Amino acid sequence: MNTVVVSVGGSIVVSDEPNIDYLKHLTALLNRLSQHFKLFVVVGGGKIARQYIALGRDLGLDEDRLDQLGIDVTRVNARAIAYLLGTSNIEIPHTTDDVIRLKNPVVVMGGTDPKHSTDTVGAEIAEKTHAARFVNATNVDGIYDKDPNKFPDAKQLKEVSIDQLIAQYGTKWGSAGKNIFMDEPALAIIKRAKIPTFVVNGKRLDQLECAIRGQPFDGTRILV
Ligand code: UTP
């Protein structure tokens, strides 16, 4: 059975408030697909993580402590997804070495250490499990030539090479709570391990399903 790693952005799990209908459909989809694939699902922190990070920044906490606040929120979100799935681990592991040992059909994970986001956790799991693909489920339809939330004329890229992304964004972690389509350290792992990586709008469950299955989808393929 092929392994697929799915990074579920916190922005689609809890944007303003948890959308229970969406979460029920998302977890039902993951349970259904787990009959065909071993799934690792890494859950992000979203708006709540960013709010705690902003609070910590106002308090003058250092970057590692800000990251730690974000990590804790990703782990709460991961546990909530685990409860909804009902088939996965309930205790959220702290390291990618611990997570890859779990035998459940769907395994759920949050953040691990400072200086990266859950995208890097997903890329690390994909590397360690030799996953067939890494699917990054975000809140826009893939990667654009500029930020689609700011520029209405931004164009979606159907394909982009990992070298082009690294040339544009680098591989160094910026700062806690930073939000781009994929964190920079994850790009280095995707290149090193040559992980086929798809960026898709996780709110569009039909497209997410196609991406997980490795079928044509509306989003961006990162060429490795
Ligand atoms: P996210 O993975 O949610 O990152 O972690 P993000 O890119 O900000 O947002 P979404 O979820 O994709 O919309 C939130 C924050 O938690 C810390 C980082 O500060 C990150 O920005 N974090 C998370 C870590 O330091 N390490 C981790 O392994 C995960």
How confident is the model over 170-197, as pLDDT tens digits? 999 988 877 778 899 999 999 999 999 9
Please tell me the number of Cα atoms within 13 Å of 189 on its side-chain side. 23
Q: Residue 205 — left, alpha, or beta (φ > 0 → left; ψ -120 to 50 → alpha)?
A: alpha
Residue 127 in this model has a pLDDT that exceeds 80: yes
Q: Kindly state if the Cβ of 121 falls inside 6 Å of ligand 1.
A: yes
What pLDDT is stored for residue 16 in this prediction? 74
What are the distances in angstroms from CA 9 to CA 35, 52, 224?
23, 17, 22
Going from the Cα of 116 to the center of ligand 1, the distance in angstroms, rounded, reads 7
pTM value? Answer: 0.95
| Residue among 117, 140, 181, 184 whose CB has most ligand 1 atoms within 8 A, to mutate | 117
What pLDDT is stored for residue 202 in this prediction? 96
Q: Which atom of ligand 1 is nearest to the CA of 176?
A: 19
Higher pLDDT, 12 or 216: 216
∠ at Cα 16 (13, 20), nearest 5°?
50
Token digits for 37?
Answer: 């694939």
Separation CA 167–CA 47 (nearest Å):
28
The amino acid sitting at 194 is K
- Parse the chain into domains and list their residue ranges: 8-223
What pLDDT is stored for residue 175 in this prediction? 81
Angle in degrees, 0-180, between the axes of helices 63-85 and 20-33, rounded to the nearest 10: 70
Going from the Cα of 14 to the center of ligand 1, the distance in angstroms, rounded, reads 13
Q: Which atom of ligand 1 is nearest to the CA of 11?
A: 13
What pLDDT is stored for residue 95 in this prediction? 98
Phi, psi torsion values for 10, nearest 5 degrees: -60, -30
CATH topology classification for 8-223: Carbamate kinase (3.40.1160)
Closest C-alpha residue for ligand 1 atom 7: 179
The answer to which of 50-64, 82-96, 147-161, 201-215 has the lowest mean pLDDT is: 147-161
Number of H helices, E strands in the chain: 9, 7
How confident is the model over 29-87, as pLDDT tens digits? 999 999 999 999 999 999 999 999 999 999 999 999 999 999 999 999 999 999 999 99
Q: Look at residue 198 and give its three-state secondary structure.
A: strand
Separation CA 84–CA 155 (nearest Å):
35
Q: Kindly state if the Cβ of 176 falls inside 6 Å of ligand 1.
A: yes
Closest of 79, 77, 68, 83 to residue 14, by C-alpha: 77
Strands 3-8 and 133-138: parallel
Going from the Cα of 193 to the center of ligand 1, the distance in angstroms, rounded, reads 22
Q: Kindly state if the Cβ of 93 falls inside 6 Å of ligand 1.
A: no
Going from the Cα of 130 to the center of ligand 1, the distance in angstroms, rounded, reads 23
